[in-house]
Amino acid sequence: MSYRIAGGTGEWEIVVGLEVHAQVTTASKLFSGASTAFGGEPNTHVALLDAGLPGMLPVLNARAVEQAVTTGLGLDAQINLLSTFERKNYFYPDLPLGYQISQYQEPIVGRGALLLDLPDGGTKSVGITRLHLEADAGKSLHDRLADETLIDLNRCGVALMEIVSEPEIASPEEAVLYMRKLRTILRYLGTCDGDMEKGNLRCDANVSVRRVGERTLGTRCEIKNLNSMRFVARAIDHEARRQVDLIEAGGAVVQETRLFDSERGETRSMRSKEEAHDYRYFPDPDLLPVQLTQDYVDRLKASLPELPDTKRLRFMADYGLSAQDADALVAERATADYFEVTAKGRDAKLAANWVLNDLFGQLAASGRTIEQSPVAPAQLGALLDLIAEGTISGKIARDVFAAMAVDGGDPAAIVEAKGLRQVSDTSALEPIVDRLIEDNPAQVESCRKNPKAIGWFTGQVMKATGGKANPQLVGRLLAAKLPRAE
């Protein structure tokens, strides 16, 4: 995807690296037994450790380690058998310990890659630099009281994975594709639910610009805490234009941390960029290094589900689907599973169309997820069978589907109950055709001049049969009985 910013002095390209924070799906926190459940009363999911009380010791949550390694494997990444936790020291009211427990020198996961599925059907690989585990901070609530700030520590200590990309993302659109793909993989793996509205997936975008053809990277700014796909795209786009304008006006970009103001659609300076040494990182003396065995990693690898990239290629090869249809179907595991049950032993392209158009349309209109679909995949499959057998036409099938979407139910039973069975019987259709021809000489005449005039007769037969006439049979009867245009 080529993306260029036209400035007054020439063309510019942008360079983006993303740091994504993904909340690890675990029942308890990274170093304490407190619950990670969302939406609890403030300060009810807080262990003494999370509150920073002296004398408490952290105990590493084995499940969080397993989830991080699984995620690394899903990103085709190097798993580091030895990793360490360090203290990242800074003061903030929602960080009672006075430091964040994070990984720095030796993260649990090293280099990997993520494949973007481009709109033209192609792909682009973006390097993953690292993935490390860290504890989240609490939340400062500024808007509950007029002139006081409240602190909720429920989130404090919840396990996060920070997933850092190489500066290889070249447009706001690619940044969104990256976020979407990462979210899909995390959800397939079950290691993060990807819920951006709850803040369970959010990202910092590092943005710089350079003149087209320039090889060295420009000075970057980091935009913090983008919590929706739309904001990711808008913030990057705005920030890149700001930098181009600044440089073209003779200024220079200052490396800093910026905030995205979604109401104004612009980024604002927050603080000058802190360097790693400002945080006085050092290994946390309360925690032993994490030592994994290759056997442990191999076992997790063996239990990985089929991932979206593999599934996408398989859907294209086995079912003959286009890259676009395959992308749409594999984006959610539940959708891919639904499709496969529907398509098995049937016309797969037809099944894909029904899932992507009819089912998705129905779900969007009723505000349901695919898991809540009133039509089970086996029932949609049975509906496709009725079309394939000629029991109903594709058009009538839409009416049957609409009925199934209201009350569920078996399509064959709905067809019988509503008398929707297709009329494929010549002896039933022929008299209707004959009568129409007899009663409408003028229309018959126009068929002599215009081959399209036959459509009027088709419409009339459909009307007379309530849409149930077999369209192929009607076409054959009319072709045999009506005069042809010269």
Q: Which residues bind ligand ADP (CB under 6 A)?
A: 15-19, 164-167, 206-208, 217-218, 220, 222
Residue with Cβ nearer ligand ADP (214 or 248) = 214
Smallest distance, ligand ADP to C-beta of residue 274, A = 8
Cα distance between residue 316 and residue 73, in whole Å: 24
Residue with the shortest CB distance to ligand ADP: 17
**Continuous H helices in 390-425:** 394-407, 411-417
Upper half-sphere CA count for residue 49 (Cβ side, 13 Å): 19
Minimum distance of ligand ADP from residue 131's CB (angstroms): 12
Length in residues, the chain: 486
Q: Which is nearer to ligand ADP, 224 or 301 (CB)?
A: 224
Q: Record the tokens describing residue 26, joined without a space.
A: 């675990």
CA 456 to chain centre: 46
Judged by CB, which is closer to ligand ADP: 216, or 293?
216
Token representation of residue 251: 């200024």
Q: Residue 305 in 3-state DSSP?
A: coil
CB of 205 to ligand ADP, least distance (A): 8
Backbone angles phi, psi at 134, to 5 degrees: -155, 165
Query: CA angle 247-253-258, nearest 5°?
Result: 130
Q: Which of 2, 19, 12 is nearest to 243 (CA)?
A: 12
Q: How far apart are the first and last CA of the chain?
A: 51
User: What whole-number distance in Å separates Cα of residue 134 and Cα of residue 430?
Assistant: 76
Query: Cα–Cα distance between 184 and 71 in angstroms, integer?
Result: 12
204 vs 358, which CB is nearer to ligand ADP? 204
Q: Kindly state the smallest distance separating residue 14's Cβ from ligand ADP, in Å.
A: 8
Q: How far is the CB of 281 from ligand ADP (least distance, A)?
A: 11
The amino acid that residue 66 corresponds to is: E
Alpha carbon separation from 169 to 118, 166, 205, 206, 432 (Å, rounded)? 12, 8, 10, 10, 64
Write down the least CB distance from residue 206 to ligand ADP, Å. Answer: 3
Q: Which is nearer to ligand ADP, 164 or 376 (CB)?
A: 164
Shortest distance in whole angstroms from residue 86 CB to ligand ADP: 13
Tell me the closest approach of the beta carbon of residue 217 to ligand ADP, in angstroms.
3
- In angstroms, the CA 420 to CA 392 distance is 7
Is-contact 175 14, C-beta < 8 A?
A: no
**Closest separation between CB of residue 210 and ligand ADP, Å?**
9
d(CA 383, CA 354): 10
CB-nearer residue toward ligand ADP: 218 or 377: 218
Of the candidates 273, 369, 334, 21, which has an alpha carbon nearest to the alpha carbon of residue 163?
A: 21
Task: Closer to ligand ADP by CB, 38 or 279: give it.
Answer: 279
Measured distance CA(84)–CA(289) in Å, rounded? 5
Question: Which is nearer to ligand ADP, 50 or 168 (by Cβ)?
Answer: 168
Rg (CA), the chain: 30
**Amino acid letter for position 403:** A
Q: What minimum distance in Å lies between the beta carbon of 186 and ligand ADP?
A: 17
Smallest gap from Cβ 8 to ligand ADP, in A, equals: 22
Please report how close the Cβ of residue 166 comes to ligand ADP at its closest, in angstroms: 5
At residue 404, the 3 state secondary structure works out as helix
Shortest reach from residue 140's CB to ligand ADP, in Å: 22
Residue with smaller CB distance to ligand ADP, 215 or 264: 215
Alpha-carbon distances of 430 from 239, 299, 422, 474, rounded to whole Å: 70, 67, 15, 9
Nearest CB to ligand ADP, comparing residues 37 and 92 = 92
Q: Which is nearer to ligand ADP, 45 or 183 (CB)?
A: 183
Place of tokens 């609890």: 40
Q: Which residue number, 18 or 49, has a Cβ lying nearer to ligand ADP?
A: 18
**Cβ closest to ligand ADP, residue 217 vs residue 388:** 217
166 Cβ contact partners less than 8 Å away, ≥ 6 residues apart: 17, 126, 127, 128, 129
